[in-house]
A = this chain, B = another copy of it.
Amino acid sequence: MNQQIINKLCIIGVGLIGGSLARALKKAGAVGDIVGAGRDVAHLEKAKALGVIDHFETDISLAVKDCDMVVVAVPLGAMQSVFEQIAPVITNDMIITDVGSAKGSVVKAAQAAFKDIPATLVPGHPIAGTEKSGVEASFPELYENRRIIITPLETSSTTAISKVKSMWQACGADVIETTIEHHDEVLAATSHLPHMLAFSLVDTLAKMDAKNEIFDFAAGGFRDFTRIASSDPDMWRDICLANGDALVEMIKKFSDDLQKLSNAIEKNDSTYLKETFERAKKARDEFCDSKNINDSLE
């Protein structure tokens, strides 16, 4: 039995993430009316033609009018400007959440824009996505069985927290609460660092003389390994700038371990190599088991 959780929803930034949220909530019958907001009229018209949103506005202060839920799904670099446009028209019944991949920077942006952070603001981050972007790539199942991390603030009201949770649960997601600091540290490790490695690897190889053969000789493992290097460059520049401290620290940790591995190769230290590969394989296989992933079926 589905239930309407949101009367009027405003999605600011109707791309893969915002668009998939709209589609999922519509499919679940959990939302009344959806207004899309953004700067690009052609893009918003496409989102409307696709049935993802019901209306659109390019003026954010008009778009959020009478909305009981506002989801800010813009790149991290645009957060503060969006919050500044919401600030003058915010009401006590208007719950605000976001989908940013780094949460410390979102809270800073909110502090700068709102001065006093409203009780209705509950930062969030869906651990979902593909390397595609844009509303054309959105689909209603994106959040099914995925984790949504919310990082409520001391100021966040229980009503607001509960409504943000219900919204994501209606999309089939599993909602987890944690702190901003912990979120940013864990995401630096599990998402931001791997993206840096993939981007950096592809770029290193693309600069080599043997570039053509390198990509030509690459097998399926390379394709999987580098898939995330096809992600949106603007989004990842913003994530680097927003979560720089945690990310630089993770790169350092990783680089130190990689240097140790390189030293072991140079010294023909077969014990070190085998033990490292065994520990990694065990951790990775356990991770897959725990997620009920059977790679052989893919």
Contacts and interface: CB of A to CB of B under 8 A. Distances in A.
Interface of A: 127-132, 137, 146-147, 149, 178, 182, 185-187, 189-191, 193-206, 208, 210, 213-234, 236-237, 240-241, 244, 247-248, 251-255, 257-259, 261-262, 264-266, 268, 270, 273-274, 276-281, 283-288, 290-291, 293, 295-296, 298
B234 A276 contact: no
Nearest to A256: B204
Given A258-B197, A270-B241, A191 B210 contact: no
Contacts of A290: 215-216
B262 A229 contact: no
A281 B221 contact: no
B217 A186 contact: yes
A258 B197 CA distance: 7
Contacts of A266: 244, 248
Given A257-B203, A298-B298, A222 B273 contact: no
A230 B284 contact: yes
A283 B200 contact: no
16 contacts: A127-B217, A131-B295, A182-B213, A189-B214, A191-B218, A191-B222, A197-B201, A199-B280, A215-B286, A215-B290, A229-B283, A231-B277, A237-B273, A237-B277, A240-B264, A244-B268
